[in-house]
Chain A
Amino acid sequence: MGRVRQHQALEERLLFERSSPGKVGYQLPALDVPQVDPEEALGSAHVRDEIPGFPEVSEVEVIRHFTRLSSWNYAIDSGMYPLGSCTMKYNPRLNEAVARIDGIIDAHPYQPECLAQGMLEIQRTLEAYLAEICGMDAVTLQPAAGAHGELTGLLLIRAYLESQGDARRVVLIPDSAHGTNPATASIAGYEVVEIPSNRLGMIDLATLRDAVDDSVAALMVTNPNTVGIFEQDIAEVAAALHERGAQLYMDGANMNALVGIARPGDFGVDVMHLNLHKTFSTPHGGGGPGAGPVAVKRHLEPHLPLPRIRAAESGLGFDWDRPASIGRVRAFYGNFGVLVRALAYILAHGGDGLRNATVDAVLNANYIRKGLEGHYELPYEAASMHECIFSDSRQAKHGVKTGDIAKRLIDYGFHPYTVSFPLIVRGALMIEPTETESKHELDEFIAAMRSIAEEAERDPGLIRSSPVTTRTSRVDETRAARKPILKWQGAGRE
């Protein structure tokens, strides 16, 4: 069918099921110092018995095991991965290579500053570029992921407001926001008040003005929002908050729509995070590691996490003397290896290249939107930025839901879009192609989606029973949650 051909997928047991006593996949160098008796050195009560159930396999089996497992994954290296708000773009291999250079990958976080100049230079350069891209004054690279950046950002707001005499109580969050926003606000000790979107899918200025009072610490906004629309009134929103002493936080999940085109700092954002694993191409790796740098305006800078990098005559070093800092959000200096990759991405594009990537990303999303209009219901008419949102309302009449369409898309050789998000669109299909996709790939995707729309009318049962071309047929998630099996249960108990 289309671009899919069946091929063999080799079966593979778990490591524990390949195990046999005495097999090894390693050899350590001969010990060049006297062997110490563990029981003597540690006391017998502190020494463990052998690790029950732990695998014993050979090196070739390890390679085959993981190679077979890898063949069961879809990946951006295989094809388009149109997950909305996830920005699944090509992960340049050069970035993997430079992150592994000796001297960088083996640098110890506590090695003397005189031997860490290269690392500090990488961080300082990345901080400067990210600040330039966002139109902000300072950046911390410490947060390990987007949600971690959100927490850092809210703690910065909190510290700033406290320094003004009142931390306030409430964080406003639009109903279209990612789940991490309200979860983060809770962790930062704030009460969440949800702001309903208007019928255009945007923040309603009048509603917002009504909601902002002296108890409000901040609004967390995603822009472009999760419907893929630029918040037209963002400057007025910022002004409304600032008038009442509140701050504007921007979730930078959708920054791939703005790089080189518009800068959050220019439209009133006080603090924002970036997802380096989205906009700046660092690999998702099946769910991490990410990095969530936070960019701030000058008034929040004194509160940034410890330590900061400072330049002195003797070279670069860490500044620990920052009494207004919120403290640390992570040990050491962040996911440094991820930062290296992001810097390599920026260097490869340059300023113009980054802008061109944004143009292609927005072009691709609008091309898909045009290609699918008339086949799927478009809940919002406003212009799309880097992603477009449809609803399943036409297909739902035939009993086909967005989740079913997603599974059928797998049979056409694509990873599904984001299913049922944002929550304000019933049965949402959220599609973000990124700049990585060629016209050919987009045309195939559009053709597949149109074909599924036809199937929904002709043969809804086929869609509901998909995927049919994968090694694994539809996975029973309900069963997994009903009686959780979270580790291997041992031989003979399969």
Chain B
Amino acid sequence: MRYLPKSPAEREAMFAELGLASEEDLFASIPADLRQQEPLSIPPGQSEYEIRDYFEARARDAARGYACFLGAGAYHHYRPVVIDSVATRGEFLTAYTPYQAEISQGVLTTIFEFQTMVAQLTGMDVANASMYDGSTAVPEAGMMAARITRRNRLLVARSLHPEYRQVMDTYDRYQGLPSETLAYDPQTGQLDLADLDARLSSDVAAVLVQSPNFFGIVEPVREVAELAHKHGALLVVIFSEAASLGLLQPPEEADIVAGEFQSFAHPPSFGGPYVGILATKSKYLRQMPGRLVGETLDADGRRAFCLTLSTREQHIRRAKATSNICTNQALVALMATVYMALLGKRGLRELAEQNLSKAHFLAGALRSAGAELPFSGPFFNEFAVRPAGGSASEVNDLALERKIIGGLDLGRFYPELAGALLVCATETAKREQIEAYADCFREAADG
């Protein structure tokens, strides 16, 4: 086996050194009747060429070469090659969690930079080293808010990503954290502030709202914050499209920001690995889950970094930890750090403006094809749209024939929006692709 670095003679010498006659002797401590009798039913080991062939074949059985107007929590963005040049360096790729600070300063420094940039982008005081993804950052934020406020009701916007809400439900079921959904305004697609106002009371730990929300619509975060804070509840602002941070007013009024940085880091990769973020105000730091890197000095008085405040974490606090989370997503966070460094202050703005322009061009093209946008609220790079005639699936079937993957049928998660599509255009959408997709709307309508 090419990954095993021993010659037969060396292996023999080691067995001899241990006074063992056979491999069986090595496993003598496993009761004989518990040992596996039959060999594993897995085919013999394959060469690099065969394995590559296997995965190339799987990739051909996929959507290679298609234009794609899907967003909904996973976004296509152009990724500079430098990201992988850095992330495939073995010194980053094959390092462990940086517990041994003296030989992990590279990882620690990049995490410190990541924390800094997340804080700068979100308008929060502190950010952690990352979470598994956006969806799991949300229940962690909810539990954190409950610990801070010592209250237990959570009000969750129905326009929060439906899969994030499902994850939240799974986590909260046994935490004694009942959650209620907050309606969206059917005209604007924004949070229904009257519904929020009616549900707020002194037992609400937090209001959780996504902006841009699942429909791509920017929420009035300031107004939501005022209402929440009036009742002593915290505001958790969530985002799934990090590219919006380059243009949108940061949610400074929030107490906790939880989100998904996939857009800055990683292609959609069929849903993962992504990288979640969690940021908050300094005063809530001690209730924050996850790893944190802090600045300090080494024995010679030079700047150095290390993992810190680990007394919150499971390996110290065990059953009383702020979370059971152990890993962060360091490598994906590194990719995001490289991306943010390359684009920088100007690039993130320009990127966001291009997304805005492409999505609005798409909206105009679809309107020209007779489609209607059900919501009037301001949108960033995705929006709901209802084809004029013909069903959403007719539009998308027509598109598939032309190697275009259309938007997501919102009926999947919102029965009242059945027939409407959630479509997304990032900077990767080319004008001719947008026009070709609009043609599908037109032709389906002409039926």
Contact indicator B93/A96 (Cβ below 8 Å): yes
Q: Is the CB of B58 within 8 A of A331?
A: no
Give Cα distance in the complex from A471 to B105, angstroms.
Answer: 9
Cα–Cα distance between A66 and B91 once the two chains are bound (Å)? 10
Interface residue from A306, A410, A472 paired with B105 (Cβ < 8 Å): A472
Complex interface bits, B113-152 against A, C-beta within 8 A gives 1, otherwise 0: 1011101110000110110111110000000000000000
Among residues 254 to 276 in chain B, which have CB atoms less than 8 Å away from a CB atom of chain A? 266-273, 275
Known contacts A48-B249, A477-B308, A327 near B169 by CB under 8 Å: yes
Which of B36, B326, B431 has the most A CB atoms < 10 Å from its CB?
B326
- Could you tell me the distance between the alpha carbons of A441 and B5 in the complex, rounded to whole angstroms? 10
Whole-angstrom distance from the CB of A122 to the nearest CB of chain B? 6
Rounded to whole angstroms, the CA-CA distance of A28 and B304 in the bound complex is 35
Given known A-B contacts A266-B34, A474-B298, A42 and B378 have beta carbons under 8 A apart: yes
Q: Any chain B CB within 8 A of the CB of A352?
A: yes
Given A74-B103, A262-B27, A421-B315, output 7 extra A-B contacts at Cβ < 8 Å: A42-B218, A55-B340, A86-B96, A119-B270, A351-B44, A473-B102, A487-B115
**Pairwise interchain contact A118-B62, C-beta atoms closer than 8 A:** yes
Determine if A332 and B270 form an interchain contact, defined as CB atoms under 8 angstroms apart. Answer: yes
Does A183 lie within 8 Å of B324, measured CB to CB?
yes
Residues of B close to A287: CB separation below 8 A: 96-98, 107, 129, 291, 327-330
Q: In whole angstroms, how far apart are the Cα atoms of A467 and B343 in the complex?
A: 38
- Partner-contacting stretch, out of A240-248, A339-347, A388-396, A451-459: A339-347
18 pairs, CB–CB < 8 Å, chain A vs chain B: A28-B347, A48-B247, A69-B110, A77-B94, A106-B63, A106-B76, A106-B268, A115-B66, A133-B40, A133-B42, A144-B136, A147-B325, A180-B314, A260-B39, A288-B328, A350-B46, A355-B40, A472-B302
**A-B pairs, 7 with minimum CB distance:** A332-B271, A285-B331, A189-B174, A77-B90, A103-B59, A118-B58, A351-B40
Contact B10 A467 (CB under 8 A): no
Residue A108 interfacial (CB < 8 Å): yes
A312-331 vs B, Cβ < 8 Å mask (1 yes, 0 no):
00000000000000111111
CB distance from B422 to the nearest CB of A (A): 9
Residues of B within 8 A of A347 (CB): 43, 45-46, 50-51, 54
CB contact between B326 and one of A71, A147, A488 (< 8 Å): that residue: A147
Whether A260 and B40, one on each chain, are in contact in the complex, defined by CB atoms closer than 8 angstroms, is yes
Q: Residue on B with the closest CB to A485?
A: B295
Q: Which of B33, B35, B308 contacts A481 (CB 8 A)?
A: B308
- Cα distance A295–B116 in the bound complex, in angstroms: 38
A35-B353, A438-B10, A470-B103 as given contacts; A363 in contact with B26, CB under 8 Å: yes
Q: A145 contacts B326, CB within 8 Å?
A: yes
Tell me which of B42, B136, B348 contacts A354 (CB under 8 A): B42
When distances are taken between beta carbons in the complex, the residues of chain A under 8 Å from B166 are: 306, 327-328
Q: Does B283 contact A (CB under 8 A)?
A: no
A42-B218, A73-B95, A410-B100 given as contacts; is B59 within 8 A of A289 (CB)? no
Q: How far is the CB of B428 from chain A (nearest CB, A)?
A: 9
0/1 interface trace, chain B 287-305, chain A, CB 8 Å (1 if under): 0000111111111101111
Q: Which of B79-87, B202-210, B225-233 makes up part of the contact surface? A: B79-87
Interface flag for B319 (CB, 8 Å): yes
CA gap between A353 and B87 in the complex, in Å: 29
Q: Assuming the A-B contacts A70-B89, A476-B298, are A63 and B170 also in contact, with contact meaning beta carbons closer than 8 angstroms in the complex?
A: no
The contact size tier of chain A is 35 or more
B384 near A: Cβ within 8 Å? no
Contacts of A486 in B (CB 8 A): 112, 115, 119, 126-127, 285, 292-295, 308
Task: Check if B344 is an interface residue, CB within 8 A of chain A.
Answer: yes
Q: Which of A429-458 contact B (CB under 8 A)?
A: 435-439, 441
Other-chain contact of B342, A62, A284, A359, A436 (Cβ < 8 Å): A62
The listed residue (B26, B285, B346) touching A362 by CB distance below 8 A is B26
A261 at the interface (CB under 8 A from B): yes
Q: Which of B73, B105, B267, B400 meets A331, CB within 8 Å?
A: B73
Chain A residues whose C-beta falls within 8 Å of the C-beta of B27 in the assembled complex:
261-262, 362
Partner of A55 from B316, B323, B344, B378 at Cβ < 8 Å: B344
Q: Residue B371 at the A interface, CB < 8 A?
A: no
A186 contacts B136, CB within 8 Å? no
What's the Cα separation between A399 and B349 when bound, in Å? 56
Q: Known contacts A331-B133, A476-B299; decide if A109 and B270 are in contact (CB<8 Å).
A: yes
Q: Are B45 and A352 in contact (CB under 8 A)?
A: yes
Q: Is the CB of A183 within 8 A of B45?
A: no
Please report the C-alpha to C-alpha distance between residue A336 and residue B360 in the assembled complex, in whole angstroms: 32
A111 at the interface (CB under 8 A from B): yes
Given contacts A23-B344, A102-B59, A347-B46, contact A72 B105 (CB under 8 A): yes
A187 to chain B, nearest CB (A): 5
Mark interface residues in A396-436 (1 if CB within 8 Å of B CB, else 0): 00000000001100100001100001000000000000011
Assuming the contacts A94-B52, A182-B318, asked whether A484 and B294 have C-beta atoms less than 8 A apart, the reply is: yes
Q: Are A116 and B354 in contact (CB-based, < 8 A)?
A: no
A97 and B356 contacting across the interface, CB-CB below 8 Å: no
Binary per-residue interface labels of chain A (169-204) against chain B in the complex, 1 for a CB within 8 Å, 0 otherwise: 000000000111011111111001000000000000
CA distance A494 to B304 in the complex (A): 11
Which residues of chain A come closer than 8 Å to B132, judged between CB atoms? 144-145, 148, 288-289, 330
